[in-house]
Amino acid sequence: MKAEKPMQPDPRQHYLTPLRQTTFHPRTAAANRLNSWGPWGGYTTVLEYDDLAMEHSAIRNAATVYDLCPMVKYRVRGPEAAAYLNRLTVRNAAKLPVGAVHYTIWCDDAGHIIDDGTLFRLGEADFRICCQERHLPWLLDSAFGFEVSVAEETEEIAALSLQGPCSFAVLKAAGFDVAALKPFRMATFGFDGGELMISRTGFTGDLGYELWIAPDHALALWDCLFEAGAPWGLRPIGTQALDLARTEAGFIITNLDFVPAHQAVREDRVRSPFEMSLDWMIDWNKGHFTGRRALLAERERGSRWAFVGLDIDGNVSAEHAIVYHDRKREVGQITAACWSPTLKRNIALAHLERPYHAGKSDNLWVEVYAMRELQYVKLMLRAKVCDRPFFNPDRRRATPPGPF
**CATH number of the structural domain spanning residue 303:** 2.40.30.110
Band of pLDDT at residue 9, cut at 50, 70 and 90: low
Say yes or no: 284 and 382 in one domain. Answer: yes
Asked if the structure places residue 348 within a domain, the reply is yes
Asked if the structure places residue 118 within a domain, the reply is no
Q: What is the DSSP string of 20-70?
A: BPPTTHHHHHHH-TT-EEEEETTEEEEEESS-HHHHHHHHHHS-EEEE-TT
Confirm if 104 and 117 have CB atoms less than 8 A apart: yes
For the chain, the average pLDDT equals 95
CA-CA distance, 390 to 403, in Å (whole number)? 24
Per-residue model confidence as pLDDT tens digits over 227-252: 999 999 999 999 999 999 999 999 99
Range of the domain at 331: 267-386
Asked if the structure places residue 6 within a domain, the reply is no
* Domain end position, chosen among 215, 237, 259: 237
Asked if the structure places residue 203 within a domain, the reply is yes
Asked if the structure places residue 147 within a domain, the reply is no
CA-CA distance, 294 to 317, in Å (whole number)? 37
Say yes or no: 287 and 358 in one domain. Answer: yes
Other C-beta atoms lying within 10 Å of the C-beta of residue 284:
12
Asked if the structure places residue 1 within a domain, the reply is no
Asked if the structure places residue 76 within a domain, the reply is no
Say yes or no: 191 and 323 in one domain. Answer: no
Say yes or no: 171 and 62 in one domain. Answer: yes
Asked if the structure places residue 361 within a domain, the reply is yes
Other C-beta atoms lying within 10 Å of the C-beta of residue 344:
8
Say yes or no: 227 and 288 in one domain. Answer: no
| Rounded (10°) CA dihedral 64, 69, 70, 74 | 130
Per-residue model confidence as pLDDT tens digits over 349-397: 999 999 999 989 999 999 999 988 899 999 999 999 999 999 999 999 9
Per-residue model confidence as pLDDT tens digits over 23-49: 999 999 999 999 999 999 999 999 999
> Is pLDDT above 60 for 71?
yes
> Is pLDDT above 80 for 2?
no
What confidence score (pLDDT) does residue 237 get? 98
Say yes or no: 170 and 281 in one domain. Answer: no
* Domain end position, chosen among 237, 253, 281: 237
Sequence-ordered alpha helix ranges (H) in 230-276: 239-249
**CATH number of the structural domain spanning residue 222:** 3.30.1360.120
Say yes or no: 380 and 272 in one domain. Answer: yes
Say yes or no: 375 and 294 in one domain. Answer: yes
Say yes or no: 299 and 203 in one domain. Answer: no
Distances (CA, A) of 281 to 47, 111, 119, 277, 293: 32, 14, 13, 9, 16
| Rounded (10°) CA dihedral 249, 254, 256, 258 | 100
Say yes or no: 226 and 290 in one domain. Answer: no
pTM as predicted? 0.93
Closest CA to 99 of 205, 251, 201: 201
Say yes or no: 289 and 183 in one domain. Answer: no
Number of domains in the chain: 2
Say yes or no: 353 and 290 in one domain. Answer: yes
Which contiguous run of DSSP H or E holds residue 331? strand 329-340
Other C-beta atoms lying within 10 Å of the C-beta of residue 83:
17
